[in-house]
Amino acid sequence: MTADKILIVEDEAPIREMIAFHLGRAGYETVEAANCGAARELLADERPDLALIDWMLPDMSGLELTRMLKRDSQNSDLAIIMLTARADEFDKIAGLESGADDYVTKPFSPRELIARIQAVLRRAKGDNDETVEAGVLALDAAGHRVTACGREVRLGPTEYRLLKFLITHPDRVFSRAQLLDRVWGANVYVEERTVDVHIRRLRKALASESASDYIQTVRGAGYRFSTRNP
Ligand code: CA
């Protein structure tokens, strides 16, 4: 099992280093950013599981960064905990409305912070382990199985990841470049044609249960998963 990766976005170095130290001791992998610009670069390269984002940052507020990340489909799976010195109820609500999953007020103890991180990650993963059903298909993420009309569909690892991504983001068009980023990872340099190859294999695997129509080509734009007719 790989350690969960946490991105710490905090401009005050002593606080950032203190957090990284305690998270490291608790078994997490950490990456650090001193501002929003650096955080956004790290997000693409490191793909963290969770981001701790301080409210007060030099280039943009942590609140704006959270809003931006939650709107961006590239980061929609990222769990976010906001860190702030502001304790009043108004800011707490603003923090959660921005899309943050939780909120920790400074000063906090390392133990409290780690407990919140564990809870948010557990929740985020719980969602991912649910069985997703669409039309005749069911994808059981915990068991890593796909069935169509109750019969098991055999998929290669890439086809499985591709289907898992598409079935959990239905009725939305993704370009080949977006699929490469989301399914293969931002740092993998493969040609966009590769996406077409795996889409073809996925359709073939689903064809016997007439579920291949769910994987739809949108001319000039990319691919979409939908149980409705194109
Ligand atoms: Ca700060």
In a domain, 63, yes or no: yes
Domain boundary among 125, 154, 178: 125
In the sheet that holds 173-174, the strands lie side by side as 173-174, 222-225, 215-218
CA of 11 to the centre of ligand 1 (A): 5
Work out the pLDDT band at 73, boundaries 50, 70, 90: confident
Domain boundary among 125, 140, 164: 125
Q: Is 32 helix (H, G, I), strand (E, B) or coil?
A: strand
Cα(40)–Cα(149) distance, integer angstroms? 42
Task: Tell how strand 137-140 and strand 131-134 pair up.
Answer: antiparallel
CA of 55 to the centre of ligand 1 (A): 6
Give the mean model confidence (pLDDT) for residues 31-41. 95
CA of 83 to the centre of ligand 1 (A): 9
Residue 200 belongs to what domain range? 131-225
**What pLDDT does residue 197 have?**
94
Neighbours of ion ligand 1 (CB under 5 A): 11, 54, 56
In a domain, 155, yes or no: yes
Residue 1 has pLDDT above 60, yes or no: no
What CATH number is given to the structural domain containing 62? Answer: 3.40.50.2300
Reported as a single tens digit per residue, the pLDDT across 165-221 is 999 888 888 999 889 877 887 666 778 889 999 999 999 999 877 788 999 999 999
Task: Tell how strand 222-225 and strand 173-174 pair up.
Answer: antiparallel
CA of 60 to the centre of ligand 1 (A): 11
The answer to whether the beta carbons of residues 58 and 11 sit under 8 Å apart is yes
Q: Which pTM does this prediction carry?
A: 0.58
CA of 74 to the centre of ligand 1 (A): 25
Query: Do residue 98 and residue 159 come from a single domain?
Result: no
CA of 53 to the centre of ligand 1 (A): 9
Nearest alpha carbon to residue 162 among 75, 220, 222: 222
